[in-house]
Amino acid sequence: MKKLTSLLLTLTLALSLFTVPASALTSGDWEYTIQNNEVYLTKYIGSGGDVKVPSTLNGVPVTKINLFTFTDNKNAETIYVPSSVKEIEEMSFQGCMAREITIAEGCTIIGDKAFAYCDQLEKINIPSTAKELGYRMLGGCDSLREVNLAEGITYLPERMCDSCPSLKTIRLPSTLQTIGKYAFGGITADGGLTRIDIPASVTTIEGFAFILCRDLQEVNFLGNKVKTIGDCAFEKTAIEHCYLPTSVTTLGSEVFEECDRLTGVVLPYGITRIGNAVFDGCDSLTWVSAPSTLKDVFASNFGKNDNMIVYTPAGSAAVTACQKWETPYLTDPSADSGIQVIYDGKRISFGAYGQNPTIINSRTMVPLRSIFEAMGADVSWDNATRTALGQRDGTSISIAIGSNLLYVNGRAVSLDSPACIINNRTMVPVRAIAEAFQADVDWDNPSRTVIIAE
């Protein structure tokens, strides 16, 4: 009897799982159910074209697009989802052939693979109200070129746009805090993503976030809150230069592995840990600057490139690692500088000049000889007038200690910060000197780096 009762209970439960809702209905282009006085769409049966999801059906608000509603639909060209819709279930648009989908403000949940494999989808707008974004939400969309994420979104889910080979434009909101694993991995086609701006609000870039973005050349950090960059985050990309913000404390394993265009990297003062093989396979890498704050240095982290040199203070953990793994290195106390200067892709070392760069009156000051010699100028010193003289390629400049004027071929240029003496070293404004020799000068604030290019 007990066995029979148990069997009946099990059968009753199983049947309940397959109960068809009482309000299975059809209206115009839609099949739907009514639950909790709300319409849940279950199937689009219209002729396609420009499709507008209704905000009400028969006076009842449409709040949810259910599983499979637009799955594999071949007729819709554009789809507009109104503000009444609060949830888009998993796989609800998977394989749909629409080229553009717009989701109005109001939607709060977008499920796993909601728009995956929409092969004709070129553009999608995600509203600020979307607080839950699903796994592989846009994965495998071969034609997807533009993703606009509204202000208010804080987290990008795992594999959000992975294997989207045509993705070219990503607008990340200033509210974003975390970029999830594989979020943009696998953008491999020619003409794909070439630049990404990381918002100032981001604190974490999880592992594999941009792996295999073959065309990604520039990663621009807009702030200095990023603390952790996960394993393989930029592996096998086309990055040439990467200016890490001063906030970074941890690099995972293989972060830049096989970035074969990367030429040099400053690990910021304050970083404490880098994982295994961070720069392994970076065949163009010629230098890495590693500060004394770096304590945990794991196996083969600087790669095996014989042309590469690590600059690091004496006695640092990086020295120990270089000795252990037979990586060339030079001791350089200026690797601990809070300000770095890059000239034509190469870091200027200030160790031999006895003074690191400093900022006075919002201007970066460097030892006089460091900038003159780095740029190949002949330099001399007139002790009587306390004036430095430099010549290069027909350009003559002079700058006197304490003067607010720099003379370029006899023409006076005003200075916000005059040359001065610090620790018995003559310090000059690096921008004024470099621009006098007709170089372009930029300041990357998150990494506190002066970038000089000719």
Q: Domains of the chain, with CATH numbers?
A: 23-342 (3.80.10.10), 354-453 (3.30.457.10)
Token pair 């961070």 in the structure block, residue:
278
pLDDT of residue 306: 72
Question: Do 319 and 312 contact (CB within 8 A), yes or no?
Answer: yes
Structure tokens at 298: 């794991």
pLDDT of residue 188: 66
Mean pLDDT of the chain: 92
Strands 309-312 and 287-289: parallel
Residue 22 pLDDT grade (very low, low, confident, very high; cuts 50, 70, 90): very low
Of the listed ranges 112-126, 214-228, 291-305, 362-376, the one predicted with least confidence: 291-305
Question: Do 83 and 104 contact (CB within 8 A), yes or no?
Answer: yes
Nearest alpha carbon to residue 274 among 254, 292, 260: 254
Rounded distance between C-alpha atoms, residue 347 and residue 343, angstroms: 6
Token pair 């888009």 in the structure block, residue:
88
Question: Do 28 and 56 contact (CB within 8 A), yes or no?
Answer: no
Is the pLDDT at 6 greater than 60? The verdict is no
- For 205-233, b/e burial (b = at least 16 CB within 10 A) is bbbbbbbbbebbebbebbbbbbbbbbbbb
User: pLDDT tens digit string along 408-432?
Assistant: 999 999 999 999 999 999 999 999 9
The model carries a pTM of 0.88
Count CA atoms closer than 13 A to 84's CA, side-chain side: 17
β-strand partners of 81 = 103
Is the pLDDT at 2 greater than 90? The verdict is no
Is the pLDDT at 443 greater than 50? The verdict is yes
Residue 13 pLDDT grade (very low, low, confident, very high; cuts 50, 70, 90): very low
User: pLDDT tens digit string along 262-295?
Assistant: 999 999 999 999 999 999 999 999 999 999 999 9
Q: Tell me, what amino acid is at 213?
A: C
Three-state DSSP at 281 gives coil
